[in-house]
Amino acid sequence: MITGILQNTPSWVWGIFILLLVLGLLQTRRRSVSRILVFVLPLVMIPLSFSTIAITFGVKPLPVIAWAAGIAASLVLNGFVFRAPAGVRFQRGKFEIPGSWIPLALMMTIFLARFVIGVTRAVNPALVGTDAFAAIVSAILGFCSGLFAARAIKTISAQRATA
């Protein structure tokens, strides 16, 4: 069954996978980024995750609330527990961000969640319509995309710390 799923996956899906893999691997290296680039991932991932739940489940209370709860949970957890990314410095108008595997893990989780939705639609479409599936997938997508926002907020705070 798994071989059939992988063989029947459209080639463009693998292209997106490779693109996300490369982008995620680039995040594992120390880099210097502008203020605008700090917000690129959250500005892409949050609308992407919301559009996924809207297209898959509709703009209904349960998936939207689960998605928003995922975002809220990620903001709270990053603010009080994870505190990532650590070691960011603001110098000469740029943010020096240490490499991290977290963005790659988040990108792969979002990709996998969307892949699971597609496979489930093909294999067991009735499952996609259940409240539990909608809530779990929506919360995962909200949490992951929310962590991108939380990391951007934490990064920007490095500028205030040096001011």
* β-bridge pairing 89-91 and 31-33: unpaired
Per-residue pLDDT of the chain (163 residues; tens, 9 = 90+): 889 898 999 999 999 999 999 999 999 999 999 999 999 999 999 999 999 999 999 999 999 999 999 999 999 999 999 999 999 999 999 999 999 999 999 999 999 999 999 999 999 999 999 999 999 999 999 999 999 999 999 999 988 877 6
What's the pTM?
0.91
Per the CB < 8 A criterion, the answer to whether 79 and 71 are in contact is: no
Q: Write the CA distances from 79 to 75, 83, 150, integer angstroms.
A: 6, 5, 7
